[in-house]
Chains A and B, each alone.
Chain A
Amino acid sequence: DVKVTQSSRYLVKRTGEKVFLECVQDMDHENMFWYRQDPGLGLRLIYFSYDVKMKEKGDIPEGYSVSREKKERFSLILESASTNQTSMYLCASSLASGGVYNEQFFGPGTRLTVL
């Protein structure tokens, strides 16, 4: 089974702190994604990566950055956390499509609270 893990289920940080959210997948997937989930807004894509050291902005990249130094690990970074970044963060991974659909597999999520 594909396994996508996230470093924390719950995280509480203070405004202005630098926050790292880690995601690891064990199935050698090329693609990795970070989403933000808010009630009434669904999932919104923050960033994704299709290869090591490669990244592309999603729909809401402002206030976030990412890092992918190894294929299995994709980090989301909040340079200076703000209260409006309080949310559930979901990581996902998938094989490269090559024109064929490949399912995205999701991690359990990290619920981040910024005080």
Chain B
Amino acid sequence: AQTVTQSQPEMSVQEAETVTLSCTYDTSESDYYLFWYKQPPSRQMILVIRQEAYKQQNATENRFSVNFQKAAKSFSLKISDSQLGDAAMYFCAYRSRVGGSEKLVFGKGMKLTVNP
């Protein structure tokens, strides 16, 4: 079974600085998706960024980018120019592409605090 590990339960960053959130996963599959989801306080979970395992190029979405290291099974999220609105729980998630699986496997989450 696949597992997703977020080893840092909490992090903090100064506004306008850069922070990197780490995530590792374990799988025997070669084709899959990886995601970062954000859950702001008392607000809905939203997708931040996704990466397809067969793509070597790291995904980027404005201030958010990933460092995908397939051999190391590592998938970190970099937030540049941090803003107060980035404060949230962040979850890393894995989804298999084998057999049309729809299931997401989530990490335990990490709380990001942004200091003004």
Contact = CB atoms under 8 A, between A and B. Distances in A.
Interface residues of A, number: 27
B9 A40 contact: yes
A1 to B, nearest CB: 11
B43 A108 contact: yes
Contacts, number: 49
Interface stretch (A14-22, A42-50, A74-82): A42-50
A97 to B, nearest CB: 6
Interface string A75-115: 00000000000000010101011110101101111000000
Contact of B102 (A90, A97, A107): A97
Interface in B74-99: 91, 95, 97
B106 A43 contact: yes
Contact of A97 (B45, B47, B100): B100
A94 B102 contact: yes
